[in-house]
Amino acid sequence: MALVAGMRVGSRVLFRPWAWLPGAALGRKESAARGRVGARGFGSQRVLVEPDPAAGIAVMKLKSPPVNSLSLELLTEFVISLEKLENDKTFRGIILTSDCPGVFSAGLDLMEMCGKNPAHYAEYWKAVQELWLRLYLSNLVLIAAINGACPAGGCLISLTCDYRVLADNPKYVIGLNETLLGIVAPFWFKDTLVNTIGHRTSERALQLGILFPPAEALQVGMVDKVVPEDQVQSTALSVMAQWLSIPDHARQLTKNMMRKATADRLVKQRDSDIQNFVGFISRDSIQKSLQVYLGKLRQKKG
Ligand SMILES: CCCCCCCC/C=C\CC(=O)SCCNC(=O)CCNC(=O)[C@H](O)C(C)(C)COP(=O)(O)OP(=O)(O)OC[C@H]1O[C@@H](n2cnc3c(N)ncnc32)[C@H](O)[C@@H]1OP(=O)(O)O
């Protein structure tokens, strides 16, 4: 099992994502994570942050080409940027979008889940859990400006947001398609979906691994608005203005009231969830399914 540093916030022990960064970078990253953001853009190699302090918002762009798959590095940088904005009182909202043309995020990085050892799987899964907890319980208004395909873990990230705007392009499908890979969406993925689209629709969507095109995504409530591609950002900004017109305190308490029970289910069993993941993903049959799926993705080009 990998050694992962933790820090206590209230009653929760939070994972410190920068704890495994190389020694030289650690001091700089840690102090940067605690500093104020200011008006200039910041970010890291894989997460661009464009702050607008006057408006109290920041646009966060995932930039891990080609498909923003959620590698350990991307998860780490994502959490650091999120924490930095969360800790700076200037900011009340984040628009989350992609810098990779045509893809919001391809979901979890399959390379992190194939052919690695149990310690790696544990470390990886802890980072996935941490990102979900941070996003799901964020005090900030989070709006997903979904400007590309949004399968599996990508969809999960968008589902943690308070509002989803999807670009109207038939290629930009969204959903939890885990079963198509021969894997099972964990209970907290399922809970996040059920909280968004309801039990019956989730049951069908999860079992069949449905990736919804925009009109259907809107119809089932997977997204809140579908707009022409060139209006995704401006729509997200105007939706943000509406959400920010609500007093923060009342909105935050309401959000917490709606989401806490779901988040607590994972918080109470993080370790066993990690063990379940490690056991599941290490199975030969699952490794084989993932390899076959990766092979198909690669063949698509040939
Ligand atoms: C008891 C507990 C059990 C817990 C079980 C585990 C739970 C796991 C939970 C979540 C699962 C996931 O999130 S798994 C990831 C699922 N993702 C997908 O199915 C999406 C796969 N990708 C695509 O469909 C497409 O790539 C795309 C639509 C996103 C983009 O298409 P496009 O044509 O633009 O790009 P390519 O397909 O050519 O891809 C380019 C390049 O990227 C590689 N790639 C794509 N997706 C991933 C990925 N998720 N991880 C790693 N790599 C990925 C693809 O193979 C290409 O690579 P090469 O250039 O080397 O060929």
| 295, two tokens | 């092979």
Which one-letter amino acid corresponds to residue 227? V
CA distances in angstroms from 243 to 26, 144, 156, listed in the order given: 36, 13, 21
Global pTM? 0.90
- Residue 193 maps to a domain: yes
Q: For residues 159 and 142, what is the distance between their CA atoms, to the nearest angstrom? A: 10
Mean pLDDT of the chain: 89
Q: H helices of 113-231, where?
A: 118-136, 152-159, 187-197, 199-208, 214-220
Residue 221 CA to ligand 1 centre (angstroms): 24
What ipTM does the predicted assembly reach?
0.98
Q: Residue 98: inside a domain, yes or no?
A: yes
- Cα diameter, the chain: 54
Residue 24 in any domain: the answer is no
- Residue 27 lies inside a defined structural domain of this protein: no
Q: Average of pLDDT values for 48-69? A: 98
Q: Which residues of 240-279 are buried (b: 16+ CB within 10 A; e: fewer)?
A: beebbeeeeeebbeebeeebeebbeebbeebeebbeebbe
Half-sphere exposure of 101 (CA within 13 A, CB side): 0
Q: Whose CA is nearest to atom 41 of ligand 1?
A: 66
Q: Which two tokens stand for residue 166?
A: 């999807």
- Is residue 57 a part of any domain in this protein? yes
* CB of 51 closer than 6 angstroms to any ligand 1 atom: no
- CATH number of residue 82's parent domain: 3.90.226.10
Tell me the per-residue pLDDT of 3-14, one tens digit each, with 9 for 90 and over: 233 333 333 333
Identify the bridge partners of residue 96 per DSSP, sorted by sequence position: 60, 144
Tell me what pLDDT residue 5 has: 37
Q: How confident is the model at residue 38 (pLDDT cuts 50, 70, 90)?
A: low
Predicted confidence (pLDDT) at residue 227 exceeds the cutoff of 90: yes
User: What is the C-alpha to C-alpha distance for residues 156 and 105, in angstroms, rounded to an integer?
Assistant: 10
User: Does residue 238 lie in a domain region?
Assistant: yes
Range of the domain at 67: 42-300
- 78 found inside a domain: yes
Determine if ligand 1 sits within 6 Å of the CB of residue 173.
no
Q: What is the pLDDT of residues 120-147, one digit of tens each?
A: 999 999 999 999 999 999 999 999 999 9
Number of domains in the chain: 1
What residues contact 179, with CB distance under 8 A and at least 6 apart? 185, 206, 207, 208, 209
Neighbours of 77 (CB within 10 A): 23
How far is it, in rounded angstroms, from Cα 27 to Cα 185? Answer: 36
Cis peptide before 51 (omega within 30 of 0): no
Q: Is 17 exposed, middle or buried (0-12, 13-18, 19+ CB in 10 A)?
A: buried
- Between the two ends of the chain, the Cα-to-Cα distance in Å is 39
- Alpha carbon of 177 to ligand 1 centroid (Å): 11
Of residues 59 and 43, which shows the higher confidence score? 59
CA 163-166-171 angle, 5° bins: 150
**Mean predicted confidence (pLDDT) in 202-206:** 98
The Å distance, Cα 214 to ligand 1 centre, comes to 20
Q: What's the CA angle centered on 73, arms 69 and 77, to 5 degrees? A: 100
Residues 251-296: tens digit of each pLDDT: 999 999 999 999 999 999 999 999 999 999 999 999 999 999 999 9
Domain presence at residue 30: no
Ligand 1 pocket check for 6: Cβ under 6 Å:
no
